Each structure stands twice: as structure tokens, then as C-alpha cells.
Amino acid sequence: MSSPRTSLPGLDQVLRRAHLSVALIAVISSGLALTLAGIYALQAYAVQNMQLVARSLSYTVEAAVLFNDELAVQEAIDKVGKREDVAEIRVIGRNGTPLANWKRPQTGALFHVESWLANIVMPEPYYYPVTHDNMTIGRIRLVPHSRLLLEYMITGLACILACMAFSTLLALALSRRMHAGISGPLNILADTAHRVRQYRSFGLRAPAADIAELNQLNQDFNALMDELATWQRHVKREHDTLAYRANHDSLTGLSNRSLLESELEHAVRDARFHSNAMALMFMDGDHFKEINDTYGHGAGDEVLKIMALRISGQLRESDIVARLGGDEFAALLKPIKHAEDAVHIAEKIAHQMQSPITLPNGELITSSVTIGIALFPDHARTAQELLAAADEAMYRAKDQGRGSWAIGL
Amino acid sequence: MLLTWLGFACLLFSQLCHAAASDDIARGKQVAQIVYGIVSYTRWPAPFPELQLCITGDSRYAEALIAGVPNPAHPRITVRQLALHTPEAVAQCQIAYLGTMEHGEREALLAQLIGQPVLIISEPPPSCSAGGMFCLLFREENIYFEVNLDTIARSGLRIHPNVLQLGKRKASP
């Protein structure tokens, strides 16, 4: 999966980021909401607690306040202050004279944090009357303490952190799983596409995936591959046709000069390797120009076709017959065992040509060919030499008279 | 000249007298507060629609007690100055405030009162070990009281434990 575009984030990164952000947002928001709700509940609890403390304290100090007994009040609030979650207690007697005062000692490392928190979150100092026989004889002033609140907040924060760690791990695991689920089929698809590109194997297909979108993608890919395969076949057919046309004579269907020459090069190399012999024949139609002039080009073409058939008919599958142009033909016989075989075939072709040809207009004409034969390796060592030798032999045969044959020197 | 001096002396004296008197008034208020406080925490075996507070002996705070306004929610309290020499007189009183009196007289009076459903509050001296019920203690700023639980138990009165606790705590040191 190594790609040169490393600056782009990978699928796994995107998934991880999405999972992480969702998990963290969920944890933080729910944690904050819970903490706020908890603080609210604690505040309510603190108020209730203070009311309770104040009520019981009021009952405890009632007699002492009535008798103005400061020491007794002090003793009572000392006891209560140590036991309850209050920061400060003040008892005020009749006429507003302060009777006793208790303050939580400034101990503990977190004292200042606690009092700061209490100032922010906790309710105002709480006043409660001291009554005796339905008459108010004094007042109690309570300042709440935030020890519980701090503990709660620390616990809450720790819980949030723990949840964050847990959900981070969970999100990572989930994103890895999801990544495997998505990237598996994608990897297969990418691999398939790569192989298709590299080896032009349009028959490859992506397998079905478990995810609907990926499955759709694979199906589309496969459909595209089908179309590409069809297109490829079409192009190949076109190409083959064009190649055939480039190498063959359209009138007779025989090979043309360039194909013959290239085949000749191959055959020479082959024959040299296997120490085989072969023969090249050049054939030139006699009086062809007169047929054309007398009966028209249609008749000429007909004659050429029949000539091609007659020449091919005397040769083997492995031999190559070519029309070099006009009424000039060539045949490559490979391999041959004896020079006589080539001569024998040439005679047979010459003989075949003597039978009359029916023209499209119904007239009968007789044609003939002059044949030059060159043998490899007897008359030439290369393809060019062989062509030249066959050409030379043919001109020699023409000198001897039309319809005759000659062999290379 | 002499007249001027006399006048000045008189003025000074009256100032002193006035100071003493205002001191007495403050104390009297405190005494009344304590006495009526104790009363408010006390329950008699049978409820009375109206309570009789009988002041016997010499007390500087008799007037303050008479003037002191007890809680209107309480049963009405009438205050009388009365020598409690006869059982009949004692039977009329639910609260006995003992001022200063001779030792013998006090002994005799206490002998009569103890065992009766009468709340006894006494001025110093002497202390409650001599047989009182609630014995006031005058300090510079405030008034405290001692409690004699034995006498209270014998009287059949029910006193709120908070009050007993206050008195007991003061008596112990």
C-alpha cells in the first residue's frame, strides 16, 4: 500500500480520527454534564445538610443561649464543628451579641482550593434562629465546607480521565476493525486493478464485498472490465485486420512483398540454424498486359486470382506464396530436400497455367508463367542474395522463352 | 462656698448612686432572665394554669423579678413577696425565690420546701450543697447557676436535661 502521495492521510488515520473525536466528545460532554449535575445535587445536599446541622445545633444550644452561657455554647459548637461538614459556626445571642465562634482549622494541603471552590459553588452563609418557647433568642450562622465537593470533583475528573482512556482504546480497536473491513476489499480491488493494468488481463474480476458500497464499486469495476475486454477484443480484431491488410494482397489474399521479405529473413535464419535447404521462386505472368488492355482490368483481376489459386494449389501449407505486384508472384518453399523437388513443382505450376481460364464474359484465354528458381544455400547465403538470384534466374528463363523456367547459377 | 461643696458632693454621690442603681437594674434583668428561663424548662407534676413565684428573704432583685416580663406563651406567673413560714403559705407557691436570710431561717424553710413540688431558686450565699435546688452564682459579666440534682429528684419536678447539664457543668470545676 506504499504510495508516493504520503502527504494524504490514510484510511486508517481518517477512521481513527473520526472514532477518537466521537468517543472523546461523547465522554467529555457526558462527563461534564454528570459533573455539573453532581455539583448541583451536592449543592442541594449541602443546603439540606446545613439546615439539618443548624436545626440540631439550635436545639443543642437553646438552653445555653437562653442562659447566656458562652462557654456551654462554645463547647457545643466545637463538638458539632468537628463532626459536621461546615467551615464556620457563629452563635449570636439576644440583642445581636456574639456568643461563640468556631472556625475550621486551616489544615490540609487543599484547604485553599476547598475554600475557593466553596466560594464559587456553595450557597451563602446560612442563618437559623435559636428559639425558646416560640421566641427567637438568638441566631446561628453557618458557612458550608466543600470537602465533599472537592472529593466529588476529583473523583469525577478521575472517572472522566479513565473513561477517556478506555474509550480511546475502544475507538482505536474499532477503527482498526473497521479499517480492516473496508481496506480488505479495497486492497483486493486495487490489486486486481493493478494486475489488469500490468498484464492487460481483462478477464480478472473483483470478488463480492461485505459492504454495500464496496460491493457496488466492485460490480461497477467488473462491468468496466467487461466493457474494456470487449473494447480490447474489438481493437485487437481491428488491429489484426489492419495488420493482415498491411501484409497481404487484397485481390488474391496472398502475402505481399514486405511480408515475404520478412518471412524470408526468418526462414534464412531458421534454415541456417537447422541446416535446411529451401527454394525461392519468382513467377511472372506472360502477356498479362495484353489481357488487361484487351479484356479490361476486371478480366485481368480474374486472371490474377486464378493464377494465385493455381500456384497455391501446388504448394504446401508451410510454403509462402506472395504477389509481389502486377502479374509477378513469388513462392518460398521451406524446407525442400532436393533441388529436383523445386524444379518438379515449378514444372507442375507451369503446366497448370496452360489450362484455359474462363473470363467473366465467357471467353476462354490461355496464360502462362515464366519461373526463376533460386536455392538456399546452393545459390545464395542471405535473403537479399536469394532474392537477387531468383530474379536473375527468372530473367534468364524469360530469355529462353515464355512459359519456361530457369534455376539459379 | 460650703453650699457649693455640698452641692458638688451631693452631685457626685448621686452619680455614684445612679451608677450603682443602673448596675442593679442590669443584674436584675439578668436574674429575671435566668429565673424565668429555669421556669420555662420546668414541668410540675400537675399543670397549673397560673404559677405563683414567692420571693422570700431579702433580695435586691425582687422588683426586677416582678417587672421581668416572662414569655407570654407560658402560664401566667404572679410574683409575690411572702414569708414562707407556714405550710399553707408554701402550698400557695410553685416557685420559691430565696433571697438573703439568716442561716437558721433558711434551714427551716428548706426543710419545709424539700420534697414538695416547688422550684427553689436561691441567691448566694450559700452554695447548693446546703440543700437548695438552683443556686445563682454572680460573676462579673454573667450569672450562672448550680444545680442540686438530689433536691430536684425529691421534689418530683421535671427539669429539661439541657438546663441540668448547664448547672452540673458549672458546679463541677
Annotated catalytic residue A327: yes
CB contacts of A133 in chain B (<8 Å) are 40, 71, 73-74
Q: What is the mean pLDDT of residues A360-382?
A: 88
DSSP A379: T
Lowest mean pLDDT among A324-328, B21-25, B116-120: B21-25
Per-residue pLDDT, A280: 92
pLDDT at A2 exceeding the cut of 50: no
Count other C-beta atoms under 10 Å from residue A108's C-beta: 12
> What does the mean pLDDT of chain B come to?
76
pLDDT at B17 exceeding the cut of 60: no
Q: How confident is the model at residue A390 (pLDDT cuts 50, 70, 90)?
A: very high
Interface residue of A59, A62, A69, A75 to substitute, partner B, most B CBs within 10 Å: A69
Does A135 sit within 8 Å of B166, measured CB to CB? no
> Which segments of A337-382 does DSSP mark as H helices, in order?
339-353
Per-residue pLDDT, B171: 46
Per-residue pLDDT, A238: 94
Per-residue pLDDT, B4: 54
Among the options A286, A327, A341, A378, which is catalytic? Answer: A327
The per-residue pLDDT for range A316-370, each reduced to its tens digit, is 888 999 998 888 999 999 888 888 888 999 899 888 888 888 888 888 888 888 9
Q: How confident is the model at residue A131 (pLDDT cuts 50, 70, 90)?
A: confident
What is the predicted ipTM?
A: 0.75
- Let me know: does A338 contact A289? Beta carbons within 8 Å: no
Residue of B nearest to A94 (CA): B33
Per-residue pLDDT, B102: 82
Does B73 sit within 8 Å of A134, measured CB to CB? yes
CB contacts of A72 in chain B (<8 Å) are 165-166, 169
CB contacts of B33 in chain A (<8 Å) are 66-68
> What does the mean pLDDT of chain A come to?
86
Most confidently modeled range among A256-270, B128-142, B154-168: A256-270
The per-residue pLDDT for range A17-76, each reduced to its tens digit, is 888 898 889 888 888 888 888 888 878 887 888 889 889 988 888 888 888 888 888 888
**What is the pTM (predicted TM-score) of this model?**
0.54
Shortest CA gap B160–chain A (Å) = 9
Does B165 sit within 8 Å of A69, measured CB to CB? no
pLDDT at A374 exceeding the cut of 90: yes
Shortest CA gap A47–chain B (Å) = 27
Q: Does B172 touch chain A (CB under 8 A)?
A: no
Percent of chain B exceeding pLDDT 90 equals 0
Classify residue A247 by burial, with Cβ atoms within 10 Å: 0-12, 13-18, 19+.
middle
Q: How confident is the model at residue A3 (pLDDT cuts 50, 70, 90)?
A: very low
Please give the Cα distance from A283 to A285 (Å, whole number). 7
Q: Does B4 touch chain A (CB under 8 A)?
A: no
> Which segments of B54-155 does DSSP mark as H helices, in order?
62-67, 87-92, 103-113, 149-155
Per-residue pLDDT, A279: 92
Count other C-beta atoms under 10 Å from residue A167's C-beta: 19
pLDDT at B35 exceeding the cut of 90: no
Q: Which residues of A fall below an 8 Å CB-CB distance to B?
A: 60, 62-64, 66-70, 72, 132-135
CB contacts of B145 in chain A (<8 Å) are 67
Does A67 sit within 8 Å of B166, measured CB to CB? yes
The per-residue pLDDT for range A326-335, each reduced to its tens digit, is 889 999 998 8
Asked whether the CA dihedral B88, B92, B98, B99 is positive or negative, the reply is negative
Per-residue pLDDT, A338: 86
Q: Does B81 touch chain A (CB under 8 A)?
A: no
A283 strand-pairing partners: A329, A371
Percent of chain A exceeding pLDDT 70 equals 97
Please give the Cα distance from A25 to A38 (Å, whole number). 19
Nearest to A66 among B37, B73, B165 (CB): B37
Per-residue pLDDT, A1: 44
Q: How confident is the model at residue A234 (pLDDT cuts 50, 70, 90)?
A: very high
Shortest CA gap B108–chain A (Å) = 30
